Chain A
Amino acid sequence: MDAGYRLLPFLFRRLGDRELLVNEAGDFLIEPAGTVEQIATHRLEVGSELYKDLAANCFVADNPSPMFLDNYACRIGSRKAFLNDSTTLHIFVLTLRCNQNCTYCQASSRDANASSVFDMKKEELFQAIRLMFQSPAAGVTMEFQGGEPSLVPELLKAAVEYAELLNAEFEKRITYVLCTNCVALTDELLAFCREYDILISTSLDGPEFLHNSNRGKADSYANVLEGIRRARVCLGNDRVSALMTTSELSLQYPEEIVDSYLENGFSGIFIRALNPYGLAVEYANRKSYYERFLVFYQRMLDYILRLNSEGMFFVEEFTALLLRKMLSPFPTGFVDLQSPAGIVNSVIVYNYDGYVYASDESRMLGAIGDNTFRLGHVSESRAKIWAGPHVRRIARLWATEFIAGCADCAYQGYCGADPVRNYSTQGDMYGVRPMSFFCGKHKAVIDHLFSLLIHREQEVMPIFRSWLSGRRS
């Protein structure tokens, strides 16, 4: 090594005729091709403008002092601050029963009139809540899912009231989220949501023909919109959010989907690809789907950027999450893209049958008979569930920092490890990145965002910053 300077750890990736350099804290520089060779082989002129840039951004250093190392380590720790809280998102699957018939259903739901054997037992629900309160997290989110949880309002009420009762002792910040299709929201349930400040998270797939086609019901769109309207009146506009799922049919209509969100009073959309679980796994050609999804994503994002350029404030939430990772020093709390993985570390699922799963996707695998990610039962201790043999096995391969393919990837800090996805698509938790759609999709999306930053910075950066600050540019 030359006396001139020391390298600090960083990763890089070629982007056309540029090189993207990303350091351990996620800060990046975009430089001409050949820069990394110059740096790594110590042919960089100390004192040059490039050297100053690299030193200021922790890619090289003259002689790193203990204070420098402390500061830099602190920034690295900040990006992993989500680990300090332990599990914050607690998903309660109150029932598997559902009143819709979605073509892409990922939850293996049952008919609304099916037996109550598909509803969570109250005693097990309370056991699950007691487990949640053992989490060291100062703030927790209780998310109620299904099936359709509004079909069991008595369980929802019991859960919230029991949590409130216990919280008199624990004093945690609790956020309640009801994931509902909004079709069966009664006035009584809405009043309860208002009383306990419960957020409504619903699904809207786009214009009427598309939404109804995806839902397998001719009147779904009208019912959902009516439910959203009533929820907004009762709870306020900002208490109701919506997610869209990109079915095969959706891929043809990116602009129409955005227009339908605008027409229905939303100020953003979350572009979400299908997951390979439940019925969704039956889609004929997954490879073709993901290739077309990437075209769809780019087309939709381009349309949204155009709308923002014309003065509208409309956010693509998935892009905003990635941008927060790329442009800010903070973690996002988005459990799908974390390292160590979001499963267990940030999210846990209490299923309707009393079993505890590593994530929502894990219980979806369970629903089709595969209990690989079933961690235990709500009657067991927190230590046994959170640090039992299942979790220890998964933990060996849940960080991008050391799994093959990710360990050298410049997007390591922006992406995440997903042993459940690896297992469900490739039959093994470790996974093979060159054949992973998860890897391919996220690489392509992040490539696209960097490409926008390189080629359209003046236009897109003010928009991106407004998305991160939540204010119009």
Chain B
Amino acid sequence: MIQPLERVSPQTVKFECDCTLYSADVVAKVLYWLMGEFRIYQQSVLPNSLSVTLEKKQGPLTDVELEVLQDRLNLDLNDYRLRKIIREETREIRAILYVKAFAPYDSDVLSGEEE
């Protein structure tokens, strides 16, 4: 969970993220999906804290939208944290699976042909 979003202006909110809970790559992936609707500004404020400002691209951010955004951020941060756990724990086995899956076809059919 992050602290409640702080409204900075009618179209801008900010929050701080504890990077001991959510790593920088997890935060980056969450923010990536907000790029369509928001301009995003990030700043490191402490060794393990990230300040994020979100500015809505079109129109003011209503109270309802603010609430939806808060819920979305909390869910997405948690989901990307879980994805990271799964990805890191399964990285090796995934590599093995893909090597085995495509090893029989690991030849360049175009090799040897004159360019």
Chain A residues close to B by CB (< 8 Å): 1, 6-12, 14, 24, 36-37, 40-41, 64, 69-70, 72-74, 76-77, 80, 83-84, 86, 136, 381-384, 386-388, 404-405, 408, 432-435
Contacts and interface: CB of A to CB of B under 8 A. Distances in A.
Contacts of B87: 9
B2 to A, nearest CB: 17
A404 B33 CA distance: 10
B89 A1 contact: yes
A84 B29 CA distance: 33
A80 B103 CA distance: 13
B35 interface: yes
18 contacts: A7-B86, A8-B90, A9-B94, A9-B97, A10-B90, A12-B79, A14-B79, A36-B79, A36-B86, A40-B82, A69-B96, A73-B99, A77-B104, A381-B113, A383-B113, A386-B110, A434-B36, A435-B36
Contacts of A80: 101-102
Contacts, number: 94
Interface residues of B, number: 34
A383 B89 CA distance: 40
A444 to B, nearest CB: 14
B15 interface: no
Closest 4 A/B residue pairs (Cβ)? A73-B100, A383-B113, A77-B101, A9-B90
Q: Taking chain B's interface residues, is the majority helix, strand, or loop, or is none over half, making it mixed?
A: helix
Given A77-B105, A432-B35, 8 more contacts: A8-B90, A9-B90, A40-B85, A69-B93, A69-B100, A73-B96, A405-B33, A432-B36
B35 A382 contact: no
B41 interface: no
A6 B93 contact: yes
B114 A383 contact: yes
B115 A384 contact: yes
B110 A64 contact: no
Given A7-B89, A9-B90, A76 B32 contact: no
B35 A435 contact: yes
